[in-house]
Structure 1
Amino acid sequence: MAASVAGNLIGGAALGAAFQLLFTEIQTTIQLARAFKGELENLDKKLKSLEPLVKKMIETNMELDLSLSNTTNFETEMKKGTLLVAKCKSLSSWKKAYKRPGHTKKLRKFDKYLDELRKILGLQLGVDILAIVGGVKSLVERREKQENMAPARMVRDRGGVPQPPQFVIGLDKPLGELKMKILREDGSVLVLKAHPGCGKTTLAQKLCNDSEIKGKFGSNIMFVEVSKTADLNLIVRRLYEQKDSAVPRDGDGARKSLELLLKQIGPGPILLVLDDVWSESKYIIEKFMFDDIPEYKILVTSRFEFPALGPTFKLETLDNEDAMKLFRFYAKLEDQNSNIPDELVEEVVQRCKRVPLALKLIGRSLCGRPREIWRSELKEWSKWDSSVLDFESELLLCLKRSLDIFGQKDEVLKECFLDLGSYPEDQRIPATALVDVWTELYRRDEDDATAYLFKLSGFNLADVMVTRKDVDEEDDYYSEHFVTQHDMLRELAIHQSKQDPETQRKRLILELNEQNLRDRWNELNERTFHAHLVSITTDGNFSSNWCNMNLPEAEVLILNFQSENYALPDFLKNMSKLKVLIITNYGFFPANLSNFELLGSLTNLKRIRFERVVIPPLSKTSIKLENLQKLSLFMCTVGQAFDSIQRSKPFPKLEELNIDYCRDFVALPAEFCDAVKNVLRKLSITH
């Protein structure tokens, strides 16, 4: 049904987009927020009955070429409704049951608003509106006749460039760099890329209002929002409105109309800003490119890259100092009368991950509130199953929009993004580890799995970095490639992964520390979880005193730790479907592993990756991994791991062996080489 609504509504209209967003959010939330199922189903029915009326309202506005300002309240209420519905998911947990009655009242109040809206629209779009339409049409026709008879007039600027927010911090340096690219570099298209909520639009606004930019482009600066539901005709119409020029009605198409406008306001330099362009709207940029118009620049702001159209300028996140200043402004902590301790402010800013939108929303929500409330909110955010995203629906919607978009096109790519939350915060993720996971979990070959890394980078949901410049990718081994991710995007990945009940999630992501270990172990002990990917991260105080979990469906197990001694969990022996095991020590020195013999029970294991661990002599462990195809050792202590191995033959099907930066490694013993010579296809040794 959501798709039909989207198809029937006029593309690009703000009203249609707001209505569609609410409708889609309800469809998703009904399945996840059972505590509010009755209220959400009522809202769903009301929206379906409103669909034809909303469609007619939009068509009427478009048909008469009227401004949408008279329906601003409708758009605002739809957005409020979307935030209300989205919050239902975070309140479904039994731990937040005390908040449900208040939220239910808000949902019912919004339900009544929809009833009133239906009555109003029914009257407005009834018999009386036909007479109004006829009268306005005749006025429009008379005006057009007068304009056609009048001589051509000069195009005047109506000030279409929006002003940046009153308080902006941390953009002076990127503004200078961006300005240099616009003023001095060749090429007609430049893409300004950043994570959602990080200030792309604000930087573009500052650029357009900069004195040097105005000095070059004068009044020929145009700024238009494209958004997800882009409509070429509507965008061109808005540009004509900005220049106070009558939109041509000769039917020659939007591209020709735009070309006519650009030549009208020329021949001087022209700057066109296309704000918030989504990946599926690439054609909009292409339609706006004209080689025969000199000194014509297009600045695109986007979460995505468009490498085929032009270079990318990446806007980085605020540093800590600027993040503190921005938060203090919105929380109104500039005066000396504030009794909020600095350390409390710093903790909140840290939770906001230096994202301007998060700093703004959280700052406003805490503004003027006593420090007891600050501590209470911070305590909620700090719980193992909580996040700032659980409490700020607007921030959540902003972040997950791009996830929803590419998830509709490629569900596996969305799952790959969510898998990134399985690794510790602020740590580089080895590309080869991700490839191992995705190859087995999603039944892809390694080339396709590797391509997902770069697709995520293109969507600005991850960054791929190379640690050595002399790396040769021709051998298809990416040992020098690592993936990093913005902290807020990691929060999003974890947040989206935990929408289902814990025992039914696709991913079980556990982050254990000294404070929560005992409580979490009591909750997890003797329970069965159906996750396909399990990630367990522990701190340096972890004693390897494991609880007993049942993980019958797990195909991937990721163990992250910081201890010098680490025991593999006993529940490993019951993980009969496990195909990928990744063990990473984030401490300074290689860790000693115990219970190593448990690996012998993993009969379906295909890939193992060890990092910073001591590998015991395999001949003494008596393990035999019948189906192991790939073994990767990174910065491990190898010692005599491969000695006297010929008789035991622990890896009869080993096809690939990677030994990277293992300092004590000298050579593979001859007996090991004899044992694998008929099966090993790839050997990589890096020092």
Structure 2
Amino acid sequence: MMTVAIICGASLAATFWMLCDSVKQVKNQILMSKPQLGDIKSTLDSLQPLIKEMEECEKELDGPGEELENLRVKMEEGVELIQECSKAGSFKKYKYGSKLVELSKSLKRLLGILNVQGIRDVKKALVSVRNIENQVEQIEGKCLIHNNQSEKIAGWCAVPEHPTITVGLDVPLRELKMKLFTDGVSMVILTAPGGCGKTTLATKLCQDAEIKDKFKSNVFFVTVSKKPNLFLIVQELYHRAGAKVPELQSEVTAVSWLQQFLKQTGQNPMLLVLDDVWAGSEFILEKFDEFKMTNYKILVTSRSAFPRFGSPYYLECLNNADAMALFHHVASLGDRSSYISEDLSRKIVERCMGFPLAITVVGRSLCGQPTEIWQKRVMEWSKGSSVLETEHDLCNCLQSSLDDLNEEKPLLGECFIDLGLFPEDKRIPAAVLIDMWAELYGIHEDISSIVNLYELTSRSLANLVVTRKDNKYSDGYYSEHFVTQHDMLRELAIQQMIQKPLQLRKRLMIDICGDNLPMWWKDQKYQYLIARLVSISTDKEFSSIWKNLELPEAEVLILNFQTKYYALPEFVEKMNKLKTLILTSYRTSPTELNNFQLANSIPSLKRIRLERISIPSISRYPIQLKSLKKISLFMCSIGQGFGNGSMDMSEAFPNLVEMNIDYCNDLVELPPKLCDLIQLKKLSVTNSHKLSALPEDIGNLVNLELLRLRCCTDLSELPGSIRNLKKLNLLDISDCFSIKELPEDIGELCSLERLNMRQCSRLNELPRTVVDLEKLKEVTCDEETEVLWEPYLPFLKSIQLKVVKEDINLNWLQKAHC
């Protein structure tokens, strides 16, 4: 029997022969009846004429070299492995199979290294060893390729048959073709949430007469799926084209073969559809996008937008008419419309919210059922049941997106679920999410929360809307950023919240109609809950009469209401861990808040946001919030709420570092007492058009780093004391049309780095002291104000002028659709 000592130090060819002999011995002694080993014997016999050439290669290379030496050592290990297997007396697959797999993997890796390093002199030897590797794989019954990816599917890259029904896709098809045929565009991303019809639209595109006329038979349809395999994709492209399928040992080899395929096939117009590409598969898109050719077009369907590959095409959900048409088809109502009323069908379709998959699965489940079953389904939904609870195929489709997100980025998955805490069909201010996530998840940089929202948008799980797009350069102002979400995705988020029993949930969402509290609350069950996030919504009929509820672990409390008068629930006094309080009125006019002083008892409260609240109503009684760091007022009625004598701001907010006042249209002047908030670092007053003056003592805010006065159109001047703001880093006076001049001593702002003065159209000149702004790096302006800086540019070498144009988007004011 051969030993390691005998084979140690043998040449590559000698080691090869020893491996052949070992396989032959095993075949003759143990498994003579196995046809696989008979095939191996035939293959090894056919390799004999090549051995001499391999020996000559070693001589010409003056030794085997490091790479071939590694290969020789692995073959020695192969000889030893087979000899060990023969000792057992019974050559069973389950005992040696895994070791043979590892041997095969090692040989593949070494062969890949040889290919990458370009060792051309031993090509024939590599081919021989690869044949051995292939035969070793046969011992395992061709099970060595993981995940059964060695199986070839006939017609895998063929275009699917034309869909049986494509309701509502004519306009998207036309727009998609226009985008795809645009000169200079090689790749288009077709994106939407799961179940919106992306694959159906892509199939319809491939079967379109204009597409067929342009690309002929040069259309390839590849389903990539969640775990793409570049090797398999390249092999199947060759298979579909009728060419010889290449053997691939490394990614470098696969890319080389892909490039060759694209160059050859792309000599004529070619369309490649990469269907169902998941987040994290950018490397696949990169490989296909590397080769820029005039006639080469790629369409990618994905739940992710992949923005770095170009502007995506967003497939919207169906309108009412198309949704009804699709439902009539899948529910087979053509001959039975007399049995099912149009009103009943309409109620079911409305609940599907334009989602094609929802309409399809609901329609099929009701097809042929008695009217009573249809009526029961509508009745269940009217009582709060979700479509996702009854239609598991739809739920699984949407759930897969969230599962993928949780696996890759668990924190982002938590952020998605948080979106379900807000009322249906209402836009969610990004500023609210920033305040929530800062305290819940420690995301203290606002920009990080915005990045999370952009990523949820790119994965078709939310939609981030920026109402003003004129400033492409981020300056940390997010009061005009809002999140919308399709109702079906909101239901998915809610489903995640309610999976655990009520007493174990970390999120608690309560909707109250009139004074009808949930049964568990009304019956005083589960009064002690451990939720960290609590959202309570009430309607116009609510009387502000609360029952006791203990929420000792709550860190975020969201209260949504629609009444003219509102009172905080008394149980907030016991919420000792509460850090963020969000109060939002959905009335057209501000709500009067009667007992805001209850917040005094919350020791850990750091952030408060009030939307459409009457400030005078909360300033009737003295408040002192020692822990408060940030207060935000959005569309509030200021009146005399902060006027002289009504509130001592330094006592009310002794440690306040940030104050935001947005869209408070009755704010005429900032109260002088605001200048006593000496801890303040950020002061933002925007879109308050009646604000005409700032306090003369604003220079007392010596720790102020940011002063934003955006779109205060009546503001005519900045006080001279502003020169005392030695820590001021950013000054924003954009859209302050009435400002005619800047303070003469503005040059004393020794820390100023960024200045936004876009649309300050009445400014005629700049004070000469601007040349003293040595740290000024960035000035955002328009074409008119840009001219004012030209005389000073020779003295401000490091300054960068950013000229932007006005572009306001008011689409967010309309009800958000998919």
Task: Give the superposition deviation at 1:479.
Answer: 0.8
Choose between structure 1 and 2: higher helix proportion: 1
CA distance in 2, matches of 1:291, 1:226: 19
TM-score between both structures, scaled by the size of structure 1? 0.75
Shift of residue 473 of structure 1? 5.4
Once residues 280 and 142 of structure 2 are traced to their aligned partners in structure 1, the CA distance between those partners, rounded to angstroms, is: 23
Distance 1:678 1:649, change over 3 A: farther
Give the aligned partner of residue 498 of structure 1.
Answer: 498
Structure 2 counterparts to residues 47-446 of structure 1, below 5 A: 59=143, 160-249=158-247, 251=249, 253-291=253-291, 293-335=293-335, 337-384=337-384, 386-445=385-444, 446=446
Q: What is the Cα-based RMSD across aligned positions, in Å?
A: 2.5
SS at match of 1:184: coil
Deviations, residues 196-232 of structure 1 (Å, cap 9, x unaligned): 1001101110111111111111110000100101111
Contact 2:534–2:556 at 8 Å: present in 1 too? yes
- Identify the range of structure 1 (205-214 vs 345-354) with the bigger mean alpha-carbon deviation: 345-354
| Corresponding residue number in structure 1 for 2:621 | 621
Whether the 8 Å contact between 2:307 and 2:458 is mirrored in structure 1 is: no
Provide the residue aligned with 1:574 in structure 2: 574
Q: Greater shift after overlay, 157-166 or 608-617?
A: 157-166
Aligned residue for 2:648? 646
1:656–1:683: 8 Å Cα contact kept in structure 2? no
Between 369-378 and 246-255, the greater mean CA deviation after superposition? 246-255
Q: Give me the TM-score of the superposition, normalised by structure 2.
A: 0.63
CA 487–164 in structure 1, closer or farther in 2 if over 3 Å, else same = farther
Contact 1:197–1:356, Cα closer than 8 Å, also in 2:
yes
Between the aligned partners of 2:338 and 2:520, the Cα distance in structure 1 is 37
What CA deviation, in whole Å up to 9, does each residue of 1:243-265 have, x standing for no partner? 23331126473222223333443
**Partners in 2 of 1:496 and 1:175 — Cα distance?**
35
Match of 1:427, SS?
coil
Contact 2:195 2:356 in 1 (8 A): yes
Measure, in 2, the Cα distance between the counterparts of 1:481 and 1:62. 46
Superposition pairs for residues 460-475 of structure 1, below 5 Å? 460-471=460-471, 474-475=474-475
Residue of structure 2 in register with 1:125 after alignment = none
For residues 447 and 642 of structure 1, do their structure 2 counterparts lie closer, same or farther at Cα, with a shift above 3 Å needed? same
* Residues 456-477 of structure 1 deviation map (CA, whole Å, 9 limit, x = unaligned): 1122211111222335754312
* Larger gyration radius, structure 1 or structure 2: 2
Find the aligned partners of 2:214 and 2:301 in 1 and give their Cα distance.
21
Contact 2:650-2:674 within 8 A present in 1 as well: no
| 1:543 maps onto 2:543 in alignment | yes
Q: CA deviation at 1:657?
A: 1.0
Q: Give 3-state SS (helix, strand or coil) of 1:379's partner.
A: helix
In 1, the alpha carbon distance for the partners of 2:493 and 2:706 equals: 34
Task: Verify: 1:594 aligned to 2:594, yes or no.
Answer: yes
- For residues 596-651 of structure 1, give each alpha carbon's deviation from its aligned partner in whole angstroms, at most 9, with x where no partner exists: 11111111111111111111365531211111111111111111221242387110
Runs of 5+ unmatched residues, structure 2: 1-139, 679-700, 711-818
**1:290, distance to aligned residue in structure 2 (A):** 4.2
Structure 1's 378 and 61: CA in aligned 2 closer, same or farther, altered over 3 A? Answer: farther
Query: Could you give the per-residue CA deviations for residues 154-213 of structure 1, whole angstroms, max 9, x where no partner exists?
Result: xxx998100232111111001001111222331221111111100110111011111111
- Unaligned stretches of 5+ in structure 1? 1-55, 71-156
What secondary structure, in the 3-state scheme, does the structure 1 residue paired with 2:181 have? Answer: helix
* Equivalent in the alignment of 2:115: none
Moved more, 451-460 or 480-489: 451-460
Separation in 2, partners of 1:217, 1:419 = 46
Q: For the Cα contact (< 8 Å) 2:593–2:617, is it kept in 1?
A: no
SS at match of 1:511: strand
- Say whether the 8 Å CA contact 1:659–1:684 is kept in structure 2: no
Greater RCO between the two (CA within 8 Å, min separation 6)?
Answer: 1
- The structure 2 residue matched to 1:669, chosen from 668, 671, 676, is 671
Structure 1 distance, partners of 2:479, 2:618, is 24
Amino acid at match of 1:233: F
CA 1:577/1:399 → structure 2, altered by over 3 Å: closer, same or farther? same
Q: Distance in 2 between matches of 1:516 and 1:273?
A: 53
Cα 1:321–1:451, aligned 2, differ >3 Å: closer, same or farther?
same
Deviations 1:564-594 (A, max 9, x none): 2211111111111001011111122211112
Separation in 2 of the partners of 1:337 and 1:174?
29
Question: 1:275 & 1:619 partners in 2: Cα distance?
Answer: 59
- Contact 1:61-1:68 within 8 A present in 2 as well: no
The 2-side partners of 1:287 and 1:573 are apart by 59
- C-alpha spacing 1:250/1:478, structure 2 compared with 1 (3 Å): closer
Amino acid at match of 2:410: E
| Cα distance in 1, alignment partners of residues 586 and 344 from structure 2 | 28
Q: CA deviation at 1:448?
A: 1.7
Give the Cα–Cα distance (whole angstroms) in 2 for the partners of residues 65 and 430 of structure 1.
Answer: 46
Which amino acid is the alignment partner of residue 378 of structure 1?
Answer: V
2:649/2:674 contact within 8 Å kept:
no
Asked if the contact 1:526–1:548 (Cα under 8 Å) also holds between the matched residues in 2, the reply is no
Question: Would the alpha carbon gap of residues 163 and 461 (structure 1) be closer, same or farther in structure 2, given more than 3 Å must change?
Answer: same
Q: How far is 1:497 from its partner?
A: 1.5
Q: In structure 2, how many angstroms separate the alpha carbons of the residues matched to 1:236 and 1:410?
A: 30
d(CA) in 2 for partners of 1:671 and 1:637? 18
Moved more, 263-272 or 432-441: 263-272
2:157–2:236 contact (8 Å) kept in structure 1: no
Residue 667 of structure 2 aligns to which amino acid in structure 1?
F
Kindly state the Cα deviation for residue 501 of structure 1 after the two structures are TM-superposed: 1.1
- Secondary structure, counterpart of 1:558 in structure 2: strand
Tell me if structure 2 keeps the 8 A contact 1:619–1:648. no
> How far did residue 359 of structure 1 move?
0.5
What are the superposed Cα offsets for residues 485-525 of structure 1, whole Å, 9 maximum, x if unpaired? 11111111111111111111121111222496363541566
Query: Structure 2 vs 1, CA of residues 342 and 257 (structure 1 numbering), >3 Å: closer, same or farther?
Result: same
Q: CA 1:419–1:295 in structure 2 vs 1: closer, same or farther (change >3 Å)?
A: same
Please state if 1:483 is matched with 2:486.
no
Q: 1:425: Cα distance to partner? A: 1.1
What CA deviation, in whole Å up to 9, does each residue of 1:432-470 have, x standing for no partner?
111111111101112322221112112221111122233
Quote the sequence identity (%). 49
Q: Deviations over 1:95-124 (max 9, x none)?
A: xxxxxxxxxxxxxxxxxxxxxxxxxxxxxx
The alpha-carbon deviation at position 64 of structure 1 amounts to 9.8
Question: Residues 320-357 of structure 1: CA distance to partner in whole angstroms, max 9, x if unpaired?
Answer: 11111111211112235442222222221122121000
Q: Deviations over 1:275-297 (max 9, x none)?
A: 01011111111122343644111
Equivalent position amino acid for 1:217 in 2: F
**Distance across 1 between alignment mates of 2:261 and 2:449:** 46
Q: Distance in 1 between matches of 2:612 and 2:420?
A: 21
Check conservation: 2:649, 2:676, Cα contact below 8 A: no
Q: Write the distance in 2 (CA, Å) between the matches of 1:489 and 1:239.
A: 36
CA distance in 2 between counterparts of 1:581 and 1:588 reads 21
